[in-house]
Structure 1
């Protein structure tokens, strides 16, 4: 049977295995990344900092980064529900590794794989209007969101979701 010219090209398992092997070999021979540590000995300057976020609507809040990782520059504002809450006044970031958040304070934490899957499922539901891809497609999207555990997640300290 002849393949239609517009049909999607798919890779066989042998091709996929060889591509994965080449990728692994490339990573193994790549030069290690020499990251310059911050003055405080962390990989990121915003590690364990209290940071000011502000929105055009007037809402301001201080969010704590509980991790040695990057944070989002902007997120959804809890007051106006617009994605306009931005990290401002970077010079006022305060290093606070021993900070204990108050109940209700928002905190940056490491994204978990389960939460990444939840975000992927919710995003696909919004975009595809309920046609959630099955199996590996949703897992592939979740892997992109998860980013090997490097992605941040914003949570409210002291809040437990009712089941």
Structure 2
């Protein structure tokens, strides 16, 4: 990386924003932060349909698109170092992009499906219970908790198709 602590905005970007704000103030217009540019009407969450930066201490950075009006995790496992240290950073740089078309291979937040919730519940039970599968209703109850009435996010790779 560039020697700066991960997730920290570069001083030149801050200086540029401040200079632009001073210039706008001189000409009588008020500058608005990026967050204010997002339409709040009709959406429940500030990160709805935003491109968001995630960064890890190992140096990995990526921009993930939230394709839904729902919350996203603040952090999760980094694909580079396999540690749970990938964090949503530089929130002011979140960009509202409802018409964004992800590039092949870009990761995207989508709504979790019931089938995927059952898959996650089964995998979790296998890891925790070491193969002792609970009674069907218990597994369904766990899957329902993971599914969270359709509000839970799932991270997918755009353009990826599972081989059959």
Task: Give the alignment's TM-score, normalised by structure 2.
Answer: 0.75
Does the alignment pair 1:138 with 2:139?
Answer: yes
Matched, 1:88 2:89: yes
**Superposed displacement of residue 75, structure 1:** 1.1
Moved over 4 A (4+): none
Deviation at 1:40, TM superposition (A): 4.6
Which TM-score applies when normalising by structure 1?
0.76
Shift of 1:162: 1.1
* Secondary structure of 2:148's aligned partner: helix
**CA distance in 1 between partners of 2:94 and 2:41 (Å):** 14
Match of 2:76 in 1: 75
SS of structure 1 residue aligned to 2:98: coil
Question: Equivalents in 2 of 1:88, 1:40: separation in Å?
Answer: 25
The gaps in structure 1 that reach 5 residues or longer are 1-37
Partner of 1:117: 118
Please give the root-mean-square deviation of Cα atoms over the aligned residues, in Å: 0.9
The 5 A counterparts of 1:1-163 are: 39-163=40-164
Higher radius of gyration, 1 or 2? 1
Equivalent residue for 1:14? none
What is the distance in 2 between the residues matched to 1:42 and 1:148?
18
Q: Which runs of 5+ in 2 are unaligned?
A: 1-38
Residue deviations 1:67-104 (CA, integer Å, cap 9, x gap): 00000111110101111100000000000000000000
**What is the distance in 2 between the residues matched to 1:132 and 1:76?**
26
State the secondary structure of the residue aligned to 1:69: coil
| Equivalent pairs, count | 126
